[in-house]
Amino acid sequence: MRRKKNESQINMEVMRSAVLLKRPWEHLSIDGVLDRQLYDKVLSAWPKTVNMDHQSTLPNRYWTFIYPSNDDGFWPLLGKSLGESVELKSVVFDRLGIEESKSTFCEVRLITDTLGYKCKPHCDTAAKVVSMLLYCPHDNANSYCGTRLGEKPDDGASLVLTKVEPFIPNHAFIFAQHRLYIHWVDELTSEFLRNQILICWMCEE
C-alpha cells in the first residue's frame, strides 16, 4: 500500500494508528516514521561530531539545531518541514491527549551520543511539552541502547526499570512532560554513534 506523505514526509498513517502504550507511563513507540528514501538521505548526510556543537553539561554528547535555522541546505529544510508541520503537531498532541496551544514553539536538533555518554534518571523540565525522539542508526546492532523508562513504586522503593525503548532504524519514541515520567540512558560502552533527531515542542510561558 502506498504511504500517504505530508509536507514533513512523516508517515502519518503509522502515527495515527500506533497504539498508545500505558506502561510505565503513556508514550508512543512507532516504527517506519520517515519516508524510506528520506531516511536513507538522513543516514548518508549525518554530520561528523567535529561539525557539531559540544554539550558541556552532558559529556560525550554533540548536537546542532536544524530548526529554527537561517541556513540553507538539506538539514535546515528538513528541520523546517518537521518544526512547522501543523499536521504532525496536531496528530502527536491528539494521540497523547494534550490540548494544542498557540503558546508552544518547536525546536529540532540532531544529536550524536558517543562512547561514555550517559544520562541519569530524570523527568523533563516543565518547559518541554512533548518530545519526539527519532532514532537514526543504520541497523539493529545496538538496539539495547535506547531510552530506559522507569517508575517509582508507591511505597517509595527504588526506581524500577520497566522498558527499554529499542534503538532501531527509523523508530520514534514520543512522550509528554510529566513529573512522574522518569527516563534515562545507560552509559554507552561501545564504539558507535547514537544518532537521533529530537523534535521538541516547548512552552513559551
Q: Can you give the CATH number for the domain in which 121 is found?
A: 2.60.120.620
Tell me what pLDDT residue 6 has: 47
Does 6 reside within a domain? no
Q: Is residue 148 part of a domain?
A: yes
- The edge-to-edge listing of strands for the beta sheet with 148-151 is 119-122, 182-185, 148-151, 160-164
pTM of the model: 0.91
> Does some domain include residue 3?
no
- Cα–Cα distance measured from residue 182 to residue 167, given in angstroms and rounded to the nearest whole number: 18
Is residue 129 within 8 Å of 201, Cβ to Cβ? yes
Respond yes or no on whether the N-terminal peptide bond of residue 169 is cis (omega within 30° of 0).
no
Domain that residue 94 falls in: 12-203
What pLDDT shows up at residue 57?
A: 77
Does residue 5 lie in a domain region? no
Per-position pLDDT tens, the chain of length 205: 344 444 568 999 999 999 999 989 999 999 999 999 999 999 999 999 989 987 667 889 999 999 999 888 999 999 999 999 999 999 999 999 998 876 799 999 999 999 999 999 999 988 999 999 999 999 999 999 999 999 877 766 788 899 999 999 999 999 999 888 999 999 999 889 999 999 999 998 6
Give CA–CA dist 37/53, Å, rounded.
27
Question: In this structure, is residue 181 part of a structural domain?
Answer: yes
Specify the residue for cell string 541546505: 73
What pLDDT is attached to residue 102?
Answer: 62
User: pLDDT value at position 90?
Assistant: 94
Residue 5: per-residue pLDDT: 43
Instruction: Assess if residue 160 is contained within a domain.
Output: yes
- Provide the domain count of the chain: 1
- The pLDDT of residue 56 is 65
The confidence score (pLDDT) of residue 168 equals 98
Q: Is residue 2 in a domain?
A: no
55 is a domain residue: yes
